[in-house]
Structure formats: structure tokens, C-alpha cells
Structure 1
Amino acid sequence: MTVEFPAFTHTILAAKKAKGISFADLETILGRDEVWIASLFYGQNSASPEEAQKIAEALGLGEEAIAALTSYPSKGLGPVVPTDPLIYRFYEIMQVYGYPMKEVIHEKFGDGIMSAIDFTLDIEKVEDPKGDRVKVTMNGKFLPYKKW
């Protein structure tokens, strides 16, 4: 089963590729993180009209792209287990380390969750003689459950 992306995703990714622009380039233009910008392309977040205009100009796109980038997002991949190998590895990491991470977070912070709203995600390339490494940093505000 494949994940269905918004109709504009393929168009905007093709325009980005045709222009030879990276997400890091767009980060410089927009002043937003490259991962957050990529999430716009997949309909997981929405841009302000000004942000959408800058992206559209950089990629040579028109009003349709601006409208798509500023529309309300529909977040998540859906109920399916991801089949893309890279995305599946994150799913697998959560299967193996999810409960241990939860336990350590509770031990350090108490009963609560890490926000996915007040949240940043950074991806870095770390050069290593044994093979380059991917460094993923998730940074979310702790939100304690309240009693009533």
C-alpha cells in the first residue's frame, strides 16, 4: 500500500528539482528550518501567504502553489505501516525503543508527553571514517498531564 500525498506535492517537488534548489537553499530564502519547509511540500504544515509567495517565486510557481501551501494541513501518514525503508526504520525504532524512551522521559519529567506542536526536528550529516552517520535531534516541550 502506498501513501497518497496531496496533488501539489509532486508538482512542487518537480519544480524544486528542475530549479536545482535544495531544502537548505529554501531555508536561507525563507528563514525557516529545512525539515519544516519539506513538511510543507507534503501537506503536513501550512505556510503564511508571505512564506508561500517566497517559495513560489523561488520555484517559478504560481497562485495554485501559493493556495496549496497556505491550505490547512492533514497531518500524518495514515493507518498503514510505512513501507518505505527509511521511514520504516523510524517506525522500527519506535517499536523497539518507544517504551524505553517513554519510561526514561517519565522518570526524568513525570507523567506527560513530548509536544509535537512546540517541537523542532533537525537532521545533520556526521562524517565518520566507518561511514557517514545521520544525526536526528527531536526537541519538544514537555507537557505534563494535569489532574482535575
Structure 2
Amino acid sequence: MDKLTMTEKLVAAKLEKGVTWEVAGEALGMSPVWLASACLGMNSAPAEKAKAISEYFGLDEEVATALEVYPTKIWDQAVPTDPLIYRLYEVVGVYGETLKEVIQEKFGDGIMSAIDFSMEVDKIEDPKGDRVLLTLNGKFLPYKSW
């Protein structure tokens, strides 16, 4: 089974079960952000987690096996038109150079890891309109000199 078919089955099972990623993550003892990413095919799951996810959603061993497969992390290089995803591109487009400047001023010449990384998505209720809080937590990796 390929990752696309796996994702279609998992998303359909999630809808049928009527749960959120938050609820599923809590039931499985997993980060809801990581769980969604694995189910959408952008991360691989260790065997025990793949089995637990598949069983939770009532799916077969084929789905569990597909969850274990290392993904090829590619995405469309065009600017997306989905408004939410586009706005994230806009944030990086407008503030990317600023983030790079501030990070490198604080840490030195290097990058933030997307491998040794975690992410949280939180909702902050506000009378003027609810707020989205994204926390991106990546290890700093300095460039080496040789």
C-alpha cells in the first residue's frame, strides 16, 4: 500500500470514528500534531505505534505496514492556494529573513533542525477573536568550519 492510499484510509476511518487528532492522540498517548503528520504520510511510525494507530482506527495490517515506511518528504513547489497554508507561507515570506537574522544573532551561523523538532498547536480564547499559537521547537545545528 502506498502512502496516499494509507492516508485516504486513515482520514476516512478518523471521520467515521468521529474523533479529532487531539482525541486520537490522547487515546494513543501520542502528540496530535505528530499523529496527524504520520497519518498524512509525512512521517514514519515505529512498528508499535503503527500497530496502535491502525488498531485504534480499526484498520488492517497493511495500513500499519504503510505507516512504518519512510516517507519521501516532497511537496508542491508552487505557492499553495489553501488560505491557511498560504498564510504560513506568507509568514515565512514576510518574516523569514527576520527570523534568520534573530536566530543567527542569538545562536551563531546555523539552522534550526526539522529532524530534532517538535511542534504544538494551541488555541487561545480571546474576546476579540480566538488566537492560534504555533510553537516550533527545533535543535540548533551550527555550521561547521573545516
TM, length-normalised to structure 2? 0.93
Query: After superposition, where does 1:1-148 map in structure 2 within 5 Å?
Result: 6-148=4-146
What number of residue pairs does the alignment pair up? Answer: 144
Give the counterpart letter for 1:28 in structure 2. E
SS at match of 2:135: strand
Deviation readout 1:63-103 (Å, 9 max, x if unpaired): 12111111111113232221211111111110000001000
Task: Tell me the CA shift for residue 36 of structure 1.
Answer: 0.6
Task: Tell me the CA shift for residue 6 of structure 1.
Answer: 1.7
TM, length-normalised to structure 1? 0.92
Task: Tell me the CA shift for residue 31 of structure 1.
Answer: 2.2
Structure 1 portions without partners, runs of 5+: none
Runs of 4+ in 1 over 3 A off after TM superposition: none
Mapped to 2, the partners of 1:68 and 1:21 lie a distance apart of 22
Mapped to 2, the partners of 1:29 and 1:77 lie a distance apart of 30
Give the counterpart letter for 2:76 in structure 1. G
Mapped to 2, the partners of 1:41 and 1:78 lie a distance apart of 19
Give the counterpart letter for 1:81 in structure 2. V
Identity %: 55
Structure 2 portions without partners, runs of 5+: none
Q: Is the 8 A contact 1:120 1:138 kept in 2?
A: yes
SS at match of 1:136: strand
Q: Is the 8 A contact 1:29 1:54 kept in 2?
A: no
Mapped to 1, the partners of 2:108 and 2:67 lie a distance apart of 38
Mapped to 2, the partners of 1:42 and 1:77 lie a distance apart of 12
Mapped to 1, the partners of 2:5 and 2:55 lie a distance apart of 19
